[in-house]
Structure 1
Amino acid sequence: MRSPDTSFVMMPSTILLVSLFCVTSVLSAPALQVIGLRGSVDDASERCKRSADVFGYYYTEINLSEYGRTTDEVKNEVKLAMIKKTVENSDSEYVLILDSHLSVLLGQPNDLLQAADNLKADYIYIAGDAKLGDEDPKPESIFHGLFARTKLLNEAIPKPPSVLSEDYVQSYLDAIRAKKGTTLMDTSSAFFQQIYNNASNIQIRFEHDRGYLQNILTDTVPVVAVANNDHEAKRRLNSLSNYLTRSWSPETSCQACDEDKIDLDKLKPSEYPVVMLSVFIVRPTPFLQPFFDRLSKLDYPKNRIHLTTFCAISEHQKLVDEFIDKHGSEYISVTELNPTDHKDQDQAFLHAAALCLDKPDCANLFYVEGTVQFTWPGTLKHLVSTNRSIVAPLMTRYNVFWSTFWGDIAEDGSYKRSDDYFEIVERRKRGLWKVPLVGSTFILSRWALSEISSDYLEEAFFYLSLTSTTTKKNVFMYVDNREQFGRLTNPTSYSLTHLHNDLWQLFDNPVVSVHSNKNR
């Protein structure tokens, strides 16, 4: 710290010079304006916005939600007219147009401008299919990825007619061909990296605290990642983005984990978000007595919890009733879902979701199956604090890698292991990881419940239904492996035909067996 007697004195002329410099810096427009086309706000559009914030872009969203939930539901002529309105009022020399639901910025503005300068083109379009080589831009290319000189683009886009039609977009494409300026379809991924399900040509590299992509086939480092608009490609981008935009790196570990975190320690227990605890017993399950004991000991005020139960196994109903008799009065409300009223697990879950949404105070639904043994009482408090759309605590079965999430999904909807699955399960990498599927137990935000309930896609089994729906609606699923939450019991060999059924589980569930006996 500089002492008062040696403090620096700024001369008047210096003050004037600095003042003029500051005013000029404030008034001068950024060289690049990024325009994100957006329907309704969702996790994907917020990810794109975050990537712009992390790297310091001048970012503008065009809100198209009155025309469609996502941009692909909006007519091309409407999107083009909105772009025209934005670029004609832009003072930036360059403009980048992206679909915010499908895109992530990978580097700083200077990196992006340098990549564009290297390509020596006035218009750079994302390539639809690299196998086709250079070609004229298609209408969808305009809205999924376009870098251009703002002045040229503004001149090329005609003034919108009083009645918009597809001819308006074609008139723009004709103008591009007729007017001055060079056009490039980026088939080498030097600027845009299009993400497909099969992304074996893409590798993640790290530079200090930042992850980036390298295309090993073309030996290029793209500055923008754009997913193809299908479920497989969107899930692939979700997985890659775990390591991008300063989210996680080997040097810093998880950088994004505490973003938007709810600090419950600063709240009174009476101010905690209200949760609906939904207990589902959907198969013959061992050790339900310790399951309910541990559930009752979760460190979260029961007067901030609504309880719902669904028991599809009649032999287990007695334990459910005993739990409700003992603790039911401690919860805000108790609702039992009758299995005869629901044809499957999907319908029972949607009923529980509706119950939460019908209660104005219900902020989250905590879904818990009977196979989940919470050994850490702070689990629910921790999951609420993450403030994400859907989060599953990482839990595994004894001595196997069966866990509460999948790292990838095959094209036929079956299980597929991701490259980082073992590292996450073994906690060699710790953080909050976007994953394609979660199961057994997870917490859902009110927004996520609303999105899922409004357009539910029923698939072969419940978890896959949830995955298809959330992928379509851009609701992100996470698994959290920063804490030791507990274990999953293995119900595979469990039978209800013995006098003491749990005693037969010594080998398949030894940890739970020993723990339960010690507590008797």
Structure 2
Amino acid sequence: MALRRVLSPLLLILIINFCYPTQAIDQDDLLVVAVASSENDGYNRFIRSLKVYGYKYEIYGLGQESTNAEQRMKIVRDNLVRYKDDKKKIILYTDVYNVIFTQGPVFVLDKFEGLKPARIVFGAEDKCWPDENLQYDYPMVGSNEKRFLNSAGFMGYASDIYEMITSQDDIKDEQIFFTKVFLDESSRNKWSIVLDKRADVFMNLNGAINELQLPANGDDVYVHNSWTDSIPTVIQGNGSAQKSLNYLSNYIARTWSTNEGCLQCKESLFDVTQIDDLMQWPMVYIGLFIEFPTPFLREYFEKIMKLTYPKQRLSILIHNQVEYHKNITEQYLKKFSEDEYKFVKYLNVDDDTTEAEARQQAIHECQEDKCDYLFILDSIAHIDHPDTLIKLIA
């Protein structure tokens, strides 16, 4: 009997080692999966970061109506079923619209290896939600560690993840479901679930903005968490942290470098001058706003007229709120009207159109006219380079 008690845990260890590979994970076995209903700026930013670092990824749900938590998990289950028996593939699930990757697959897998014997790893944060009372059920953590599960990002072996997300028929709330799975000791042990307590892989910015540092390694700007002293890879900016993520996106994921400045600005450049038919050039709606007495107003208008862009593809809206400038503005209004601009519209000081109303009108008319670009220029700013529009469109 005593020998049996000794052999049982050894047998369990042997079974686990047999079922799951012990050698280093091949980066081709890492797959990023996410659910998105439409492509927008946040989506494009997310995809760009994946491509920059060479991730393999699958996006589910595109073209469908906006999805809630229950629908998202159903979509994930339906698509991961083909990996349900795969004990080599590593699935990394994350949100889309508020997430940026800042390192490549090798870094992620090294960090995942460092968390073994864990087979599923969830992101962690400082706040227990949506039920704060559950905080008392969480295991204690060390200093400078994150204690509470965040369901916006997790990774693990495909077979384990599929088994976990199909252990309940309907998952109406991801955060509640995964929290209960983690807090249940038998489930936690069954799938060897741990939290990324030191934000090695996942960092949620919500409530952690003060922990951020942005050091640079050559041309690569990365995120350093000063609280956990880690370099996280998957940066999540949900809720009130979205603006902070937008700020970070100007620098991380090889967007900017200390030597070359803006790197993303050099991607997917569009040389409009290669279009021979001028009527096929993008349509630009220009809003000119004279809201305060302004010196050198004549030069301001002259520089607009010297733009090296087909006038047939330019629409002009002028809003003048300064009586003193009425004469000179109407002189140039006549010049604009006599030229080949698509149309010219003038809102003068007598129209009682406020600045806010005029700016909103510019946006509305641009949309109504199906313009490709809206270019706003206040009278206090001058265009010194005639090819400014061409360079901005590039």
Give the TM-score taking structure 1 as reference length. 0.60
- Tell me what 2:113 maps to: 117
In 2, the alpha carbon distance for the partners of 1:47 and 1:102 equals 9
- Tell me what 2:19 maps to: none
Deviation, 1:170, is 5.7
Question: 1:275-317 CA deviation, whole Å, 9 max, x = no partner?
Answer: 0111112223222111111111122121110111222223323
Q: 1:160 to 1:301 in 2, by over 3 A?
A: farther
CA contact (8 A) 2:300 2:379 kept: yes
Question: 1:104-151 CA deviation, whole Å, 9 max, x = no partner?
Answer: 111111110111111222222222326979948999933x21112211
CA contact (8 A) 2:33 2:60 kept: yes
Deviation, 1:343, is 5.9
Matches within 5 A, 1:360-371: 360=370, 362-371=371-380
Q: 1:311 to 1:66 in 2, by over 3 A?
A: farther
- Tell me what 1:127 maps to: 124
Partner AA of 2:270 in structure 1 = I
Q: 1:152 to 1:139 in 2, by over 3 A?
A: farther
Superposition RMSD in Å = 3.1
* One of 218, 222, 236 as aligned partner of 2:232: 222
Partner AA of 2:254 in structure 1 = R
Partner AA of 1:310 in structure 2 = H
Matches within 5 A, 1:110-509: 110-120=106-116, 121-129=118-126, 135=138, 141-142=150-151, 144-158=152-166, 166=172, 174=180, 177=184, 178-179=186-187, 180-196=190-206, 199-230=209-240, 233-268=241-276, 269-330=278-339, 331-337=341-347, 344-360=354-370, 362-385=371-394
Deviation, 1:158, is 2.3
CA contact (8 A) 2:336 2:344 kept: no
- Tell me what 2:49 maps to: 51
- Tell me what 1:40 maps to: 38
Q: For 1:257, what is the secondary structure of its paired residue?
A: helix
In 1, the alpha carbon distance for the partners of 2:61 and 2:347 equals 40
CA contact (8 A) 2:149 2:195 kept: no
Out of 77-86 and 186-195, give the one that drifted further. 186-195
- Tell me what 2:21 maps to: none
Partner AA of 1:35 in structure 2 = V
Partner AA of 1:304 in structure 2 = R
CA contact (8 A) 1:158 1:172 kept: no
Q: 1:341 to 1:156 in 2, by over 3 A?
A: farther
Question: 1:72-127 CA deviation, whole Å, 9 max, x = no partner?
Answer: xx421111111111222235611111111111111111110111111222222222
Partner AA of 1:264 in structure 2 = V
- Tell me what 2:17 maps to: none
Q: 1:168 to 1:255 in 2, by over 3 A?
A: closer
Deviation, 1:336, is 2.5
CA contact (8 A) 1:133 1:187 kept: no
Q: For 1:36, what is the secondary structure of its paired residue?
A: strand
CA contact (8 A) 2:126 2:147 kept: no
Question: 1:240-283 CA deviation, whole Å, 9 max, x = no partner?
Answer: 22222222222444322121221123223443211011111222
Q: For 1:57, what is the secondary structure of its paired residue?
A: coil
Deviation, 1:64, is 5.7
CA contact (8 A) 1:134 1:184 kept: no
Out of 297-306 and 129-138, give the one that drifted further. 129-138
In 2, the alpha carbon distance for the partners of 1:181 and 1:347 equals 58
Out of 176-185 and 102-111, give the one that drifted further. 176-185
Number of positions where the alignment pairs a residue of Structure 1 with one of Structure 2? 347
Q: For 2:125, what is the secondary structure of its paired residue?
A: coil
Partner AA of 2:287 in structure 1 = S
CA contact (8 A) 2:126 2:148 kept: no
In 2, the alpha carbon distance for the partners of 1:153 and 1:76 equals 17
- Tell me what 1:517 maps to: none
Deviation, 1:63, is 2.8
Q: For 1:127, what is the secondary structure of its paired residue?
A: strand
Deviation, 1:29, is 9.7
In 2, the alpha carbon distance for the partners of 1:358 and 1:326 equals 25
CA contact (8 A) 2:73 2:171 kept: no
Structure 2: state its 5+ residue gaps.
Answer: 1-25, 129-134, 140-145
In 2, the alpha carbon distance for the partners of 1:197 and 1:263 equals 43
In 1, the alpha carbon distance for the partners of 2:201 and 2:248 equals 17
Structure 1: state its 5+ residue gaps.
Answer: 1-27, 69-73, 386-520
Q: 1:173 to 1:156 in 2, by over 3 A?
A: farther
Question: 1:28-62 CA deviation, whole Å, 9 max, x = no partner?
Answer: 99311101232432112111101111111111112
Deviation, 1:347, is 2.6
Q: For 1:280, what is the secondary structure of its paired residue?
A: strand
Deviation, 1:381, is 1.7
- Tell me what 2:72 maps to: 79
Q: For 2:28, what is the secondary structure of its paired residue?
A: coil
Q: 1:358 to 1:148 in 2, by over 3 A?
A: same
Q: 1:351 to 1:281 in 2, by over 3 A?
A: same
CA contact (8 A) 2:307 2:386 kept: yes
Do structure 1's residue 99 and structure 2's residue 109 form an aligned pair? no
- Tell me what 2:7 maps to: none
Deviation, 1:341, is 6.6
Q: For 1:86, what is the secondary structure of its paired residue?
A: helix
